[in-house]
Structure 1
């Protein structure tokens, strides 16, 4: 062991075993606590948590002092033993390097690496001896190593000069009016037009494994066993001074277990989730200055990672009971993040990556933290720091905190547009009270706090993370605010703005720069609060990090900049694709050229990103067994530094894995009975080995899944419009072969009385009343013609990152038997792709509880001349007051215009 004072290290005689697969939050975790400043010996405290470990499990650890250039100046090594779920270790640093010389003034990094030597880990790396464990794990299983870093100040370092910043209005849930100002400053006419709302967007109650009594809470609770539920959590957080609390319940625990309860009732699970939504709605109605959010934490840490979904009205599940009933509302395959992202995009759901690891999690397209276009649309936040999930601290002084900043950086480099968040993951009944960290959300001044306003801000990435609830950080770039995506030419001025209501000051500023989609590394581009640079042509992101004089940190959301000099490169690369092989390892190849230079080539198989190549020859290899035995489509996309994209023609290829296994797809036929009320969908399916499930698709939309013969499902006919529909059944076997039935046509005829129009000013000819819109949507400009009359609603069409909406509140009578939305829409676009939905228009319902439900989505791929009539069934909302919301989202280039007219909702 190197020189230093080791306060806790225990010898290990044997390697204890683990008892089966561990439930969520019983895995190994490490945290690091170091004073940012010190005039004497500095303690370095390591917190190790492993609730699922057998007592006596050893932990091997290494603390390294890294210099200004990243070189190792000094190292301490040791090992500790897990007692009842956790332990600590500590070394004392006297300010000297390994040669007993004083480390020069500046900022240095303390790095902790640790591994828990349970039986599975020992078997994986070949030893249970702590003195060899980290070296062997680094070679054979680096994903098993927990790493934490923290920068500290050595000696006297001049603080940066900060620009004058008029502090933003800071809301507080305990105030009697949303106009109450924070003590930081009065808001002047020149300040940014936003109010900051501080929240904790990650916590649990007794709807899953949280809500534990503080005096006895030492870890995750047995699902539904603790005394405190969502309403208790919202009241506690409000009393604590938070503005927002999300109770994010584990989606797979609604069966009352951490595994699979084969006796569970789907109705019980459904009702529990709905009761949580109602608890949030009821609390919000009685507390207009506080936002209660109820949602789910989807996934399993050891099988891919956790993410939050903020606004799903339904419970997503993958577990079935012994009667082959899904213990939830919507089936989602466990650990299939790519499909989940697509489902979320289809429904307008918004998500957050929870405590992301740098490897081994969120695999999509064969890559950890893998990028998908759908994932980029829906995953808006990623945690950079949490306080301990099992803290019982109620004085905001918790010392065990974990950083996820490395994973945040990887997500940005993958191409995700995520803003940072900082939460508490409370499992005990101290929601928001364990530490001073918060997630800050910027909502426009004058906008009431609501779920829709929160989601709008999150979708815009106007969010920052802070360890200090009295501080605020806002990054601006020229005239743009953090979270924005914009094009720029010439100089770019980045300004890091800071304010504190508690009198804290800034000791350190760091501005980081990276290239989205490069899969590279970020670099520090500045250590000053105001920086003017001229970026190289192409795409960039920038975000800021502040360290206060007390060591607490704040992270801004990034800005995403497409830099291009006037008259610069506008020529996209040319690219062609090819594929070789039909089994084993197959090779994807591309030939690409550009007038300046190709920066990368992406390979898409069946519209899913599979690989990226950054140098010629552009090639990638994939395992054919990850694809089904069938014909597939390959498309290559080539990028240049200016952000131009060339897309190849689609190339068809076949996969035929002949390993002696099952390659025969099931045979399946479909039938339907009934034309009103409850209709029945049926299928007859057989296979040479066995059918595992049958899916029923109505008008190409998945409506139901059956896992046992007779393969049947029932459907409420009022969810379909009167007229002719198509039914297709798909049968699956255990080998992944899929058989598809012929299309069956059937008719729906739901009787109803006289139709009543519920939409006012449905042709927009009377101006904006009673519509709510983003600026300028309702207009009579001649550039886009109305369907009838002179006025229409024109959403997007700017050719830059932009979001528009137009909404109207209606009440569907409880006496109605059917309600139908009808409207005309014209879509024109400058996008040239034939495969990627860059710009989208969603028709949504916003419920009285503030939940967004996406009913249908169109994109630039649906562009056509003239208006097209569309109908959407609203019968599910009979008896409710809802908002009809047309929601358009446009990316940073190539305009798409969505023009809406003659909107009608008729009930009968």
Structure 2
């Protein structure tokens, strides 16, 4: 431990042999605050290795690096893992070697970690020796995390913030549209920003479980929420403008391995249902971009990448009958072959959480360049929040950065823009943190898949930890994502804005050389503008802004060919025509295209959705008809010239008639009966082939399944809280098509029932339990009872007389409510409308017959021809035994009868 006092304490637990099954990669996450404010600057390292066993450990080193690149302090150790997890926590005292004070500035906290094994030889080695030995043995699994922190007071960067560009949510208002016109009119940056995430899973693979039950790994297809749920949550709760649900391509058989019993038609139908759910979400919400893609590969044996716009399930697994469990074959971990397929089909991709070594091999080189990959890979993640986060308040602290790998990809020659995602496996799409990918569309451009994919192909994105932040890099007037020739000075401008009042603390510009496979270097910082005259040749530049709150933004690069020559201007678009053959099985899409310079590629669109690309004449591609619904469709072909000019063919109509695959989802409706005790959830469901099961959900949580009609389950109401709830039913067919009912609202009241304390309140047992004056309780037919035949009849003699009726009642001390009710009819021959000659008092008396309270007094003035219910709160007498007392007093001349029935005193 060095004198800079990086002091760590590690949780130690026993753990097993390192193995390397798919999806069991080692990971380490560094968490530090941005500002070093005192001598107790916290540092936290979390280790996660699902494949760990009893002898597995994490070897790690944390270093503090000064602005000049010198390591001024470090600490290292070995941390054992319990159930695949471990933790190291420590601090930095903000000092250098030998306790020396350090100048204010930006310092780097760097973590490097690898998995290792505990062996008997460890006792003969020091900790430093064991760490270095592990680093050497497991270098390909090295995780490196860096965070720059601010020590002391550092002047904020000199940056002129721009007026915030219009965002997608603003454009949906009149004020937002005005902002667009203002931006365009002012000659500023005419773009609208769409915020969202490009990486998440649902129950089509290993995601979709409610946060209350989501764990560090999920069983494929066991989640309860699918793509439609994810789009709704991202749009409504997280306030996002787009979401890509990227399902693991090899989990469509319901397994992380290979399911020998898998039915390919079911896997393909599930994939197609995802495309349909995304299309339906876009149709219902034109202001939201719902995308359905694939996360291809296995991270610990190759690396994950997202195929953003697939039209068919790509797979390498076969079932026990030798059938491909998908629509098109791709060899596992063969990235050059995948890149070629993506180019042929017009797909674009994103490198997911790329490691600096051991992943995306091309000719044995990690992160190796491939020409086809250079065309189709448009994004690389620079930051992810924790994949299995259950946070729903956008405050997740577990975040990993991949800027080192991004730099290597750029240096290798890839033109990849940065993205910032959440890799949501739990059902908290967009809710774990505020990080987003910002995509720039030209202002006024309708939000279509074609326009959105064009923006990604143009690399017009930025990555941000703050969904209110904006960063657009320009160079000599060119916008980030562009490649251009340049001569003379190059002026870079980091155009930063915030819609939430944040400010920029730090601005950094970085430079690299594509194809050099060297090191990206930081240029001088301190200002939002930087001018440089590059050496002749190709370069790339990007900007990073750190806000005063420590949250960061990364711009897309610009690619500059210094001293290069611009290609000749070609403004003539190609000519193109389209045709289609076949109505089922494998159909063929064809095009004829020509251009005055040359055709670079032809894209094929079915119903406005890109389905494939061909770069060589004669231009054609094949398509599995089951990816399309039966009925009429429209084909267009879009041809591109060498200079980027394009033209679209006239639409060609064609029909599809699939006879084998079942892609029709069941229809289902739901109902609920009961409010307490045993309640019943019911559903009616039908399907063109047959319903296999119906699942019942209450408030989004699965509560039961029925496989036979009529579909219903019972539920103990005490498992639900009092109040309002919603119920939905999901119906499945044999092809795994899913239909979801409309939500049904119902209420639960588990409150204990009220207890009746009055005995014989209806007087049907005569005078039983009552104490009365003579003749009060009667079944005389002169007056009808309220219910039954008996009642209490006080007075009515036409002479001076007093009657009474009372019953003793004990009110429990634990009662929260005590209510006295009775029905009263007053019949009187008195004619006065102002004088109360005859009265009935309703009283509470104690056991000694002392009056505690007179609740009410009624008289001849209340006479009428019907019974009226009266009610009084007696909660104040809980814990007492009282008398409920009725006393009638009649004058000397005219009769008044007080008729009482159905007396009740209920407590809760």
TM-score, with normalisation over the residues of structure 2?
0.66
1:143 aligns with one of 140, 144, 148: 140
Equivalent positions of 1:721-736 (< 5 A) are none
How far does residue 818 in structure 1 lie from its aligned partner after superposition?
9.2
The residue number in structure 2 matching 1:618 is none
Q: What's the secondary structure of 2:186's corresponding residue?
A: coil
1:215 aligns with one of 191, 205, 212: 212
- The whole-number CA distance in structure 1 between the counterparts of 2:96 and 2:622 is 70
Residues 201-220 of structure 1, C-alpha deviations (whole Å, 9 max, x = no match): 00001100011221121222
The residue number in structure 2 matching 1:416 is 414
Q: Are 1:841 and 2:618 counterparts?
A: no
- The whole-number CA distance in structure 2 between the counterparts of 1:880 and 1:125 is 70
Equivalent positions of 1:390-539 (< 5 A) are 390-527=388-525, 528-539=527-538
- The whole-number CA distance in structure 1 between the counterparts of 2:249 and 2:36 is 44
- Decide whether aligned partners of structure 1 residues 530 and 264 sit closer, same or farther in structure 2, where only a CA change above 3 A counts: same
- Decide whether aligned partners of structure 1 residues 112 and 281 sit closer, same or farther in structure 2, where only a CA change above 3 A counts: same
2:594 aligns with one of 825, 834, 837: 825
Residues 43-73 of structure 1, C-alpha deviations (whole Å, 9 max, x = no match): 0111222233236743232211111121110
Residues 274-321 of structure 1, C-alpha deviations (whole Å, 9 max, x = no match): 111111111111111111100100000111100000111100100111
The residue number in structure 2 matching 1:853 is 611
2:330 aligns with one of 308, 316, 332: 332
Contact (CA 8 Å) 2:419, 2:436: kept in 1 or not?
A: yes
Residues 27-50 of structure 1, C-alpha deviations (whole Å, 9 max, x = no match): 221111111113212101112222
- Decide whether aligned partners of structure 1 residues 28 and 413 sit closer, same or farther in structure 2, where only a CA change above 3 A counts: same
The residue number in structure 2 matching 1:165 is 162
The residue number in structure 2 matching 1:359 is 357
Contact (CA 8 Å) 2:388, 2:426: kept in 1 or not?
A: yes
Q: Are 1:8 and 2:9 counterparts?
A: yes
How far does residue 828 in structure 1 lie from its aligned partner after superposition?
3.2
How far does residue 94 in structure 1 lie from its aligned partner after superposition?
1.1
Q: What's the secondary structure of 2:112's corresponding residue?
A: strand
Q: What's the secondary structure of 2:162's corresponding residue?
A: coil
Residues 308-352 of structure 1, C-alpha deviations (whole Å, 9 max, x = no match): 001111001001111111111100000000011011001110000
Q: What's the secondary structure of 1:844's corresponding residue?
A: strand
- The whole-number CA distance in structure 2 between the counterparts of 1:532 and 1:87 is 46
Q: What's the secondary structure of 1:236's corresponding residue?
A: helix
2:193 aligns with one of 182, 187, 196: 196
The residue number in structure 2 matching 1:882 is 634
Residues 632-680 of structure 1, C-alpha deviations (whole Å, 9 max, x = no match): xxxxxxxxxxx9xxxxxxxxxxxxxxxxxxxxxxxxxxxxxxxxxxxxx
Contact (CA 8 Å) 1:359, 1:368: kept in 2 or not?
A: yes
Contact (CA 8 Å) 2:246, 2:306: kept in 1 or not?
A: yes
Equivalent positions of 1:415-814 (< 5 A) are 415-527=413-525, 528-564=527-563, 793-794=573-574
How far does residue 132 in structure 1 lie from its aligned partner after superposition?
3.4
- The whole-number CA distance in structure 1 between the counterparts of 2:287 and 2:213 is 32
Contact (CA 8 Å) 1:819, 1:905: kept in 2 or not?
A: no
- Decide whether aligned partners of structure 1 residues 872 and 139 sit closer, same or farther in structure 2, where only a CA change above 3 A counts: closer
How far does residue 449 in structure 1 lie from its aligned partner after superposition?
1.5
Q: What's the secondary structure of 1:352's corresponding residue?
A: strand
The residue number in structure 2 matching 1:288 is 286
- The whole-number CA distance in structure 1 between the counterparts of 2:257 and 2:313 is 17
Contact (CA 8 Å) 1:238, 1:290: kept in 2 or not?
A: yes
How far does residue 516 in structure 1 lie from its aligned partner after superposition?
0.5
- Decide whether aligned partners of structure 1 residues 820 and 153 sit closer, same or farther in structure 2, where only a CA change above 3 A counts: closer
- The whole-number CA distance in structure 2 between the counterparts of 1:293 and 1:219 is 25
Contact (CA 8 Å) 1:811, 1:880: kept in 2 or not?
A: no
How far does residue 193 in structure 1 lie from its aligned partner after superposition?
1.2
- The whole-number CA distance in structure 2 between the counterparts of 1:881 and 1:279 is 18
- Decide whether aligned partners of structure 1 residues 123 and 270 sit closer, same or farther in structure 2, where only a CA change above 3 A counts: farther
The residue number in structure 2 matching 1:302 is 300
How far does residue 161 in structure 1 lie from its aligned partner after superposition?
1.4
CA RMSD across the alignment: 3.5
- Decide whether aligned partners of structure 1 residues 844 and 124 sit closer, same or farther in structure 2, where only a CA change above 3 A counts: farther
- The whole-number CA distance in structure 1 between the counterparts of 2:648 and 2:501 is 53
How far does residue 857 in structure 1 lie from its aligned partner after superposition?
2.3
Contact (CA 8 Å) 1:56, 1:83: kept in 2 or not?
A: no
Q: What's the secondary structure of 1:109's corresponding residue?
A: strand
Residues 147-168 of structure 1, C-alpha deviations (whole Å, 9 max, x = no match): 1111111111111211352321
- Decide whether aligned partners of structure 1 residues 324 and 901 sit closer, same or farther in structure 2, where only a CA change above 3 A counts: closer
Q: What's the secondary structure of 2:189's corresponding residue?
A: coil
Q: What's the secondary structure of 1:197's corresponding residue?
A: strand
Residues 176-205 of structure 1, C-alpha deviations (whole Å, 9 max, x = no match): 67946899x977633211100001100001
- The whole-number CA distance in structure 1 between the counterparts of 2:219 and 2:259 is 13
Q: What's the secondary structure of 2:535's corresponding residue?
A: coil
Once the two structures are overlaid, the 10-residue window that deviates more, 172-181 or 551-560, is 172-181
- Decide whether aligned partners of structure 1 residues 501 and 873 sit closer, same or farther in structure 2, where only a CA change above 3 A counts: closer
The residue number in structure 1 matching 2:243 is 245
Contact (CA 8 Å) 2:315, 2:329: kept in 1 or not?
A: yes
The residue number in structure 1 matching 2:90 is 91
Q: What's the secondary structure of 2:281's corresponding residue?
A: helix
- The whole-number CA distance in structure 1 between the counterparts of 2:305 and 2:287 is 27
Residues 674-710 of structure 1, C-alpha deviations (whole Å, 9 max, x = no match): xxxxxxxxxxxxxxxxxxxxxxxxxxxxxxxxxxxxx
The residue number in structure 2 matching 1:227 is 224
Q: What's the secondary structure of 1:428's corresponding residue?
A: coil
Contact (CA 8 Å) 1:487, 1:561: kept in 2 or not?
A: yes
Contact (CA 8 Å) 1:811, 1:882: kept in 2 or not?
A: no
Contact (CA 8 Å) 1:475, 1:482: kept in 2 or not?
A: yes
- Decide whether aligned partners of structure 1 residues 341 and 163 sit closer, same or farther in structure 2, where only a CA change above 3 A counts: same
**Length, aligned pairs only:** 647
Q: Are 1:206 and 2:203 counterparts?
A: yes
The residue number in structure 1 matching 2:69 is 70
- The whole-number CA distance in structure 1 between the counterparts of 2:124 and 2:196 is 44
The residue number in structure 1 matching 2:815 is none
- Decide whether aligned partners of structure 1 residues 509 and 807 sit closer, same or farther in structure 2, where only a CA change above 3 A counts: farther
- The whole-number CA distance in structure 1 between the counterparts of 2:641 and 2:383 is 30
The residue number in structure 2 matching 1:102 is 101
Q: What's the secondary structure of 2:97's corresponding residue?
A: coil
How far does residue 99 in structure 1 lie from its aligned partner after superposition?
1.2
Residues 831-850 of structure 1, C-alpha deviations (whole Å, 9 max, x = no match): xxxxxxxx7221311435xx
How far does residue 812 in structure 1 lie from its aligned partner after superposition?
11
- The whole-number CA distance in structure 2 between the counterparts of 1:67 and 1:499 is 29
- The whole-number CA distance in structure 1 between the counterparts of 2:92 and 2:509 is 29
Contact (CA 8 Å) 1:814, 1:879: kept in 2 or not?
A: no
- Decide whether aligned partners of structure 1 residues 822 and 335 sit closer, same or farther in structure 2, where only a CA change above 3 A counts: closer
The residue number in structure 1 matching 2:29 is 31
Q: What's the secondary structure of 2:72's corresponding residue?
A: strand
